[in-house]
Structure 1
Amino acid sequence: MSESQRWFLLITLVVACGLVYLLAPILSPFLIGALLAYLTDPIADRLEAKKLSRTQSVVLVFIVLTLLLVLAVLLLIPQLTEQIQTMVRQVPAVIEVLHGRLLPWIEQNTGLSIDRPDLESVRQLFAQYWQQTGSVAAKLMGGITRSGLALAGWVANLVLIPVVTFYLLRDWDVMMANIQHLLPRNLEPKVTLWARECDEVLGAFVKGQLLVMLALGVVYATGLWIVGLDLALLIGMLAGLASIVPYMGFIIGILVAGVAAYVQFQEPTILAWVGLVFAIGQMLEGMVLTPLLVGDRIGLHPVAVIFAIMAGGQLFGFVGILLALPVAAVIMVLLRHLHDGYKKSRLYSTDEPEQTGEVE
């Protein structure tokens, strides 16, 4: 890479970061559209390979996505709303169980003395909190409704997402080819290699791990529904989302489901059935879902995912969260190549002649 190329790439990077910072309020629908186009491009490519035109492939993909969205709105959203209300109604019972059974059991078996809060005060505090939350939500919705400009912007973003997704998906391969042709000729092979590796990293996480999370959410929700838990869908989806970090979904899910099941059934034996559901989910994840959906592709480390999302949100807000994973994938690939270069450099090994004897 020549000196002028280094300066050009550095200036381009600085300008790009500055534009992201300045244009962050309007970038969300474009980034969401780009993410959806990236996720669905392989499906469109497969349809195109079956002798369909690119536009026909994209239209077919959009029909399927629209049907899934309508199905989610009609089936999942009302169920989740009802289960959230059920959870709120069960909170006093959960407090009663913790106050009247769990704390005495801990004191009896550990010999510890735990200061118990006044149950009525806790109930009043919780009721006051939910009342304030509802009041704030009502004021917020009222403000959005009264502000025609804010409401129009919100609606415009919702409308822009499918429009941007459609055009990006239709021209995705053309845009990638144009970007490749714009690269300096001496850098094009290396940058293409890096881009392919970044795609593998993102594919291992976004296209693989997210499918694993969705599948685990369905497995957990179905299992808890068979057990008879009222909050099966809510807890199952929560455990599936928490599975972004290995074992976190299992731990959070089994704890929350265990408390909810005990409050609902008041039978200790129900905990065994809850444990069985999550044990089956873990076995399916390890033996079926992860090998099938992720395979042996190199993905982002869970700690790197958490740090990237938090850092992106801190620096650029919601836009930073959307950009966190692609940027983390690029940094991971660059660090891998820097590591390989370091191992081959004189900083790591010297050019001194080898010793005649080897040390085992």
Structure 2
Amino acid sequence: MIRILRGLAHKYFSDEEAVILFLILVVGTVFVIWFGAMLAPAIASLIVAFILQGLVTKLNRLGLPESLSIMTVFLVFLGVLVGFIFGLLPLIWTQVSNLAGETPRIIRELQSYLELLPEEYPQLISAEAVNTLYQQVSTEVGHMTQWLVSFSLSSIPDLVALLIYMVLVPILVFFFLKDREVLLGSISRLLPPQRPMMLRIWHEVNLQCANYVRGKALEILIVGGATYIAFKFLGMPYAALLSLLVGLSVVIPYIGAAVVTIPVAVIGLFAFGWGSHFIWVMAVYGIIQALDGNVLVPILFSEVNNLHPVAIIVAVLFFGGIWGLWGVFFAIPLATMLKAVFAAWPVKDSVPPPTTEQS
């Protein structure tokens, strides 16, 4: 056992930089787990600034001064944030409330549809199974309706915290962009002066994660916007709410698209019935998903090492179990970062000679 541990230590931790980086990763992970909720505005601001830094760099390459580039990108971010808060968010909340009001009618129609299934397919579906399914659906919908009714009273503290975040996040984003070099310099002074391996890993992580996070943010906007335009053109109810769900579903490949297809199909079925209009809605939705997976993703993520589907599912389960919804949301970037770290980690192939024991 000791020989195995010595071999692993020699292979992966023979370089003192590797030991220091390992300790930094462990301490950083523990720090985020313990203080992540407290520092949520700072972490969110850091991620947003990381995304916006790419736009600042591109404006600099076009000849725009650093300060003007930062101010331009920050004002664009501020405009998008204000538009989301005062434009899209009230529309989505209105559609959520309308959907909650339409829920009893949807349940009645669902019950009528389910009652016909045992008559049409008696060998596949029994009446008892239909009744059990209907009771489960009614119970879950009832819980969701109660949550929506009590939301306005029980979540006042959350709304106050959200308002505080809306003030803190833009301020922190501005200073992260403005003083980026100063902050990175302060961190670098805490590290060893000679750190070629850390610089190589930082370059790989920065390249992979920056391309992924910025590309995923752009993918959310494109897919969500295209879905909203298509659904509005087809007269699909709750177009803003559904397009938001479709846009966010691209954060979790494979799983997100499969989950979001259910509400799209259910709302389309109850809005238009089983006819040509419903088929058109699902066909357009399928075309958007196909274009996203086969055209948009290869263009946006051409420089990113794609993860295996098994690695994606494991990352979603693992980080979701640790950090809940935020862990699910950032599971793929975190997995991409770990893959970049492992790819650049120094590994020695030679095995250390056994130590001679003196009697």
**TM-score of the two chains, using structure 1 as the length reference:** 0.77
CA contact (8 A) 2:49 2:177 kept: yes
Measured in 1, the distance between the counterparts of 2:232 and 2:216 equals: 24
Measured in 1, the distance between the counterparts of 2:329 and 2:181 equals: 21
CA contact (8 A) 1:33 1:161 kept: yes
Counterpart among 227, 233, 242 of residue 240 in structure 2? 233
**2:269 is equivalent to residue 262 of structure 1:** yes
Letter in 1 for 2:110: L
Measured in 1, the distance between the counterparts of 2:308 and 2:68 equals: 37
Counterpart among 180, 195, 202 of residue 209 in structure 2? 202
Aligned to 1:28: 40
**2:342 is equivalent to residue 329 of structure 1:** no
Superposed, 1:90-105 pairs within 5 Å as 90-105=102-117
Counterpart among 169, 177, 192 of residue 177 in structure 2? 169
Shift of 1:301: 4.5
Counterpart among 298, 323, 330 of residue 305 in structure 2? 298
**Residues 205-257 of structure 1: CA deviation (Å, up to 9, x unaligned):** 21113322331222222212211111222122212222233344543444322
**2:116 is equivalent to residue 114 of structure 1:** no
Alignment identity in percent? 25
**Residues 291-325 of structure 1: CA deviation (Å, up to 9, x unaligned):** 32222421445554554455445445677678755
Measured in 2, the distance between the counterparts of 1:127 and 1:333 equals: 43
Range moving further from structure 2, 232-241 or 31-40 = 232-241
Range moving further from structure 2, 258-267 or 31-40 = 258-267
**2:95 is equivalent to residue 83 of structure 1:** yes
- RMSD of Structure 2 on Structure 1 (CA): 3.7
Corresponding pairs, count:
338
CA contact (8 A) 2:213 2:333 kept: no
CA contact (8 A) 1:202 1:325 kept: no
Secondary structure of the corresponding residue to residue 237 of structure 2: coil
Measured in 2, the distance between the counterparts of 1:7 and 1:336 equals: 16
Counterpart among 60, 73, 76 of residue 64 in structure 1? 76
Distance 1:34 1:270, change over 3 A: same
CA contact (8 A) 1:201 1:300 kept: no
Measured in 1, the distance between the counterparts of 2:54 and 2:232 equals: 34
Measured in 2, the distance between the counterparts of 1:336 and 1:175 equals: 27
**TM-score of the two chains, using structure 2 as the length reference:** 0.77
Measured in 1, the distance between the counterparts of 2:219 and 2:236 equals: 23
CA contact (8 A) 1:300 1:329 kept: yes
**2:167 is equivalent to residue 159 of structure 1:** yes
Measured in 1, the distance between the counterparts of 2:329 and 2:251 equals: 16
**Residues 176-219 of structure 1: CA deviation (Å, up to 9, x unaligned):** 45545654355x22222211221232134211133223312222
Shift of 1:273: 0.3
CA contact (8 A) 1:93 1:263 kept: no
CA contact (8 A) 2:224 2:246 kept: yes
* Structure 2 unaligned blocks of 5 or more: 1-12, 353-359
Shift of 1:173: 3.7
Letter in 2 for 1:114: A
**Residues 21-52 of structure 1: CA deviation (Å, up to 9, x unaligned):** 44334311111111111000111122233443
Aligned to 2:227: 220
Measured in 2, the distance between the counterparts of 1:163 and 1:249 equals: 32
CA contact (8 A) 2:111 2:134 kept: no
Secondary structure of the corresponding residue to residue 198 of structure 1: helix
